[in-house]
Structures are given as C-alpha cells and as structure tokens.
C-alpha cells in the first residue's frame, strides 16, 4: 500500500527577518512592563547625613537641607555634584569631619535627594537660585556673616555663578574636581535648552519609556561602572553606591538627570565665570579616572586669589584621602585669615 502523504505545513506568514526585528521590541516591552510592575520606585531613603534635617520652602521649590550648627566660626556650605543619582551623601566625609568644629550645612540640589523632584527643565539658573536661597538662610541664622562654600564637580560652575551675582554672600570658594576647565572652558555660545538638547530631552521624557530608560541607567552594575570611572579604580565607596541606588529609586528621580543628560544643566563658557571671580578660590583635583582634563587650570595657578592643588586620587578625593584634602583646605583658610 502506498504510504499516506503527510499534510504540508502551512508556511509562516511572518518572515524570519521580521521575527528577528520584533525581538528588540519584545524585549523593550518586557522591560517597560518590569519597570512599571517589578521595580520599587519608593525605596527606603534615610537621611544621607547626621544632624538636623529639614526642608526649606523656596521660590525654586522645596530644598532638603542638612545642618550641624555646633561649633564656632564661619559657616561652611557643602554642595554635591550633578549626575544620574546625585545627593548630599557625596559630601558626607567632609560634613562629618567639620560637624562640631564649625557650623556646617549641606543641601540636596533641586531634583535630587530630599529636594523637589518635579517634572520640569532643570537649568543652571535653577541651581544657582537654589544656592542663593540656601546661602541667604544660613547667613540669616549666623548673624548675616558670609559663608565658606565648597562644591563638587559640575556644581562648582553654579557656585561660581552665585558668587559673581552675590559676592557678599561668600568669604571663600572651594572647588573639588570642578568641571569646565576642559574643552568647555570657552564655550560655543549656544543655548543648551534648545536644538539637540531639547529634542533629546523630549525623547527621554516620554512617559511610556522615560522612567524605564532611567531604570536601566541606574541598575547597580551600571552605577558601579560609572563610580569606578569617577574613582579611576574599582575601590569605590560602597556606602555611596548603596545610597545612590536608593536615591535613584524615588518618585521623579529621572527628571533632573534627564536635563543633565540632554545638556540643559551645563552653563555655557564656564571659563567666563571662573575668570571673573574675585573671592579667594581653592581648587583641588585628582589625577586618576575619566575626569582629569584640566588643561585650562594652569592659567589660574599664579592668580593672587587662587590656589590650585593636585592629589594622586580620583575625582572624589575626599572619600579616598580625607586627611590630605582637609589639611590642604584648612591651610588655605588659615592663610586667608592671616
């Protein structure tokens, strides 16, 4: 008997190439679903620093402020950097060192930590106004005395702008690993809130995929990778990593970082800010890691109101060698007083 013929399988209506093309879409859809349903966006976030913790209501929104008013002398304001998961923990070694020795304060900049994280465009103007508000409040509490302020990384540019606008607010300025001494020094005279930056920000902030994209950026391996680039070493501060991870998993945590990633938070021509400073300035930076381009810093080495120092560390030298940093800063302040 002839064997029965097998029924022919119907040909797939979806070509193989099209199936392969759909795989990324499927993966993206799965990640969006996981971001919405599986990721905790309200992680427990304790205060980053000891001492009094409060929220100032200002014209730029609520600002988280830490303070230890014990001790005498000129108040010290510490300002963290700006990145995808920035917060006041970044100045923790300095805050703990000076707490009790002199009045010391630290803020969470708008969009970070315990400050307002609303959906808005974050700009240098907003950050500078936040510094004005906090500095005015600190001065009010301490007999209207000018303050010493120390900023980290990109926030050094905001501090420079604030000191130019209100020089009487500051006795001295400290810049730790400041940005703007590289190719950005002279700037391109372009408004970064427009053109490509605005397009990038519009794409990033689409509700459907905005938060999922941010969640992908702040997974722990990715955060560890960027901290290692900052340190120039795998020996990062684990406490900072843990706190950054929790801080990046809060409602609205994506808004300020998206302005940062799209370029809206970078002042144009930071060199114009630095060159006009008349207050005493202390600059210190490391030699290791991805953030060591200080090609324009040498021009300030001989300036009478500047002191430029270098340590064999990464971009967060106060975590790696607190003693070396504080000894140099105290010497700068001592010479200033003399």
Residue 6 lies in a domain: no
Let me know the angle formed at the C-alpha of 86 by 84 and 90, rounded to the nearest 5 degrees: 145
Residue 9 lies in a domain: no
pLDDT of residue 27: 58
Residue 244 lies in a domain: yes
- β 61-68/52-58 pair status: antiparallel
pLDDT of residue 337: 84
Residue 181 lies in a domain: yes
Which whole-number Å values give the CA distances from 247 to 61, 87, 123, 167, 217, in the listed order?
18, 7, 20, 33, 13
Q: How many CB atoms lie within 10 A of CB 334?
A: 9
pLDDT of residue 42: 86
Residue 68 lies in a domain: yes
Which CATH number characterizes residue 331's domain? Answer: 3.40.50.1820
pLDDT in tens, 184-206: 998 854 554 444 466 665 666 55
pLDDT of residue 196: 47
pLDDT of residue 302: 93
Task: Answer yes or no: is pLDDT of 267 > 50.
Answer: yes
Residue 30 lies in a domain: no
Could you give the 3-state DSSP secondary structure of residue 68? strand
Residue 51 falls in which region: left (phi positive, over 0), alpha (psi -120 to 50) or beta: left
Q: How many CB atoms lie within 10 A of CB 47?
A: 14
pLDDT in tens, 297-312: 999 999 999 999 999 9
For 106, the domain range is 56-337
Average pLDDT over residues 27-49: 74
- Whether the full predicted model's pTM is greater than 0.75, yes or no, is yes
Distance, CA of 106 to CA of 31 (rounded, Å): 36
pLDDT of residue 19: 47
pLDDT in tens, 87-135: 999 999 999 999 999 999 999 999 999 999 999 999 999 999 999 999 9
Percent of residues, the chain, with pLDDT higher than 70: 82
Q: Which residue has the tokens 């060199």?
A: 271
Residue 38 lies in a domain: no
- Read off the pLDDT band of 324 (50, 70, 90): very high
180 touches 157 (CB < 8 A):
yes
Residue 164 CA, chain-centre distance (Å), reads 21
Distance, CA of 209 to CA of 35 (rounded, Å): 9
Average pLDDT over residues 240-260: 96
Percent of residues, the chain, with pLDDT higher than 90: 75
How many structural domains does the chain have?
Answer: 1
Closest by CA position to 174, among listed 305, 50, 73, 294: 305
Let me know the angle formed at the C-alpha of 333 by 174 and 325, rounded to the nearest 5 degrees: 60
Task: Answer yes or no: is pLDDT of 24 > 80.
Answer: no
pLDDT of residue 15: 67
Q: Which of 17-26, 65-74, 317-326 has the lowest mean pLDDT?
A: 17-26
- Read off the pLDDT band of 162 (50, 70, 90): very high
**297 exposed, middle or buried (CB, 10 Å; 0-12, 13-18, 19+)?**
buried
pLDDT of residue 207: 65
Average pLDDT over residues 276-290: 97
pLDDT of residue 233: 96
Residue 28 lies in a domain: no
Distance, CA of 71 to CA of 115 (rounded, Å): 26
- Read off the pLDDT band of 325 (50, 70, 90): very high
């Amino acid at each position: 008997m002839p064997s029965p013929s097998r029924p022919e399988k119907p040909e797939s209506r979806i070509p193989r190439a099209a199936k392969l093309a759909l795989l990324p879409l499927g993966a993206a859809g799965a990640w969006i679903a996981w971001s919405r349903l599986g990721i905790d966006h309200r992680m427990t976030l304790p205060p980053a620093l000891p001492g009094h913790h409060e929220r100032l209501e200002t014209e730029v929104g609520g600002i988280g402020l830490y303070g230890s008013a014990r001790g005498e002398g000129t108040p010290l304001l510490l300002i963290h950097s700006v990145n995808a998961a920035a917060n006041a923990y970044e100045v923790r070694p300095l805050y703990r060192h000076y707490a009790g020795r002199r009045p010391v304060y630290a803020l969470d900049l708008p969009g970070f930590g315990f400050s307002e994280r609303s959906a808005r465009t974050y700009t240098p103007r907003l950050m500078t106004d936040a510094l004005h508000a906090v500095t005015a409040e600190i001065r009010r509490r301490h007999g209207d005395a000018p303050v010493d302020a120390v900023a980290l990384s990109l926030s050094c540019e905001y501090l420079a702008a604030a000191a130019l606008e209100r020089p009487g607010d500051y006795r001295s300025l400290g810049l730790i690993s400041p940005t703007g001494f590289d190719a950005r020094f002279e700037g391109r005279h372009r408004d970064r809130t427009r053109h490509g930056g605005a397009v990038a920000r519009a794409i990033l902030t689409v509700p459907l995929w905005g938060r999922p994209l941010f969640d992908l950026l702040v997974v722990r391996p990715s955060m560890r990778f960027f901290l290692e680039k900052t340190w120039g070493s795998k020996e990062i501060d684990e406490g900072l990593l843990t706190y950054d991870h929790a801080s990046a998993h809060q409602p609205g945590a994506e808004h300020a970082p998206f302005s940062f990633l799209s370029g809206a938070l970078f002042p144009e021509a930071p060199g114009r800010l630095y060159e006009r400073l008349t207050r005493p300035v202390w600059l210190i930076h490391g030699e290791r890691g991805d953030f060591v381009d200080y090609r324009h810093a040498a021009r300030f080495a001989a300036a009478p109101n500047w002191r430029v120092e270098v340590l064999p560390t990464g971009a967060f030298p106060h975590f790696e060698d607190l003693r070396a940093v504080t000894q140099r800063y105290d010497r700068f302040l001592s010479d200033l007083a003399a």
